Amino acid sequence: MIFVVILVSTVALIGAFVLWSTVGFMDRQTNTVIETDIEGLAEVYRGRGLHGLITTIELRIERDPTRSSIYLVADDKRNPVVGNISAWPSVGPNESGWIEFGLTERTTGTKTTARSRPFLLRDGVNLLVGRDIRNLQSMKNQIEHSLLLAMVIATVIGISAGLLLSRRVGLRLKKISQTSREVMEGNLSNRVPILGRGDDLDEVGQSFNAMLDQIQQLLSGIEHVTDNIAHDLRTPLSRLRNRLIQLRNLTSKKGESVVSIEACVVEVDRLLATFRALLRIAKLEAAGHGKNFGIVDLEEVISAAVELYAPLADERKIAVEVDSTGIEIRGERDLLMQAVCNILDNAIKFSPINGKIDIVLDVDAVGVILSVSDTGCGVEAEDRCRVFERFYRTERGRDKEGAGLGLSMVSAICAYHGAIVSLHNHNPGLLVQITFPKNP
């Protein structure tokens, strides 16, 4: 629309200049001719009197049968004496002293317009000299119509060109946007197509592709280093654990040595679990959104998780209530089970004795919502985003067991399923909410 406004404004300015330079010039030229004619007739009147003026005007009228020039001599009461119009115009002069009035052709009856200027001679004689300006008016109307037509054509061309340009640019921007979404979904090898036109969008696409190349290279390096570190550390830790178990089995004397070895085995198991969790989170984040999902019954997943953690909840006298119906979504059952177990484990861990945990599964206009609320200490508002970071632990949770990877795993699993996980105040306690998108 801005392009159309600029184009039409430009055409209007050019048309106005053409109108002013042509019609304005002819208008000024007509006025000059009339004033020159008046000066000549006034000179005739001064030299030859009224009779000479009448004779001169009669000769001019005789030579001009088309009445392109207007002449009228009238007395002091403006009664016609001689001229090619029958009466003095009924309209008065404008601010510039000019009179424009309508005329009717005697032969054809055609309406036309005349411009004249009155002039008062000696002894009260009135002189009216003018010109038929039908050609001037016709040219002015023709230019105005041409200008209007040019503005309409410019508007049509501007809208068409604007739509075509917007469509071409929009399609290329859509490809860039589609590439961005595919990269966010995990397809790091995808690139923006370059048309080779050398325009701004090609330059943006080349910069975008270069950025993706650099990101892919950095991610590959990080993934390679992370895998090497994880594998290199996991192998000696596994050997250490096996040797500790052998040592524990070979130790015949029950005492502090066996207890110390058992504690070492527990710590090694905890380290191995941490590395497994890190590797799994890294793989989920690198995979983006899952594509080959199966049908998963969330109610069955919740029931299995509650059954698994029932002994731990009973030990702490925590009541777990489930309110759900059979709802199926697309996903990976093992990963969803892991997410629900992590949330349930945190809820039991941070809930007081005789506490309560509510699990609600529902469907609304947004999608499928899984809510897990507890009556524990909750999470401060400023920590609710950071708890999804790896190894981050709040001040309230530092005395609890764990490596700070539970909610990181939940966040990675939710992102893998295209779901959104959020934390809310339950007053008291914490509400963990997972929103799954609606299946087609």
pLDDT 10s digits, 10-63: 888 888 888 888 888 888 888 899 999 999 999 998 889 889 989 998 998 888
Residue 246, SS3 per DSSP: helix
Of 156, 165, 163, nearest to 7 by C-alpha is 156
Element at 139 (helix H, strand E): helix 134-184
Q: Which residues contact 407 (CB under 8 A, 6 or more apart)?
A: 342, 346, 387, 388
Interhelix angle 200-250/134-184, rounded to 10 degrees, is: 10
- The whole-angstrom separation of Cα 370 and Cα 380 is 21
Per-residue pLDDT, 283: 66
pLDDT one-digit tens code per residue, 309-330: 888 888 888 888 888 877 888 8
* Low-confidence residues in the chain, pLDDT < 50: 440
Please state whether the predicted TM-score (pTM) of the whole model is above 0.85: no
Q: Which residue has the tokens 């190349």?
A: 213
pLDDT value for 293: 76
Determine the pLDDT at residue 289. Answer: 62
- Tokens 């309406």: give the residue: 111
Integer Cα distance of 313 and 372 in angstroms: 14
DSSP string across 316-368:
TT-EEEEE----EEEE-HHHHHHHHHHHHHHHHHHSPTT-EEEEEEEE-SSEE
Residue 17: the pLDDT is 87
Q: Which domains does the chain have, with CATH numbers?
A: 2-141 (3.30.450), 200-287 (1.10.287), 294-437 (3.30.565.10)
Cβ count within 10 A of residue 401? 7
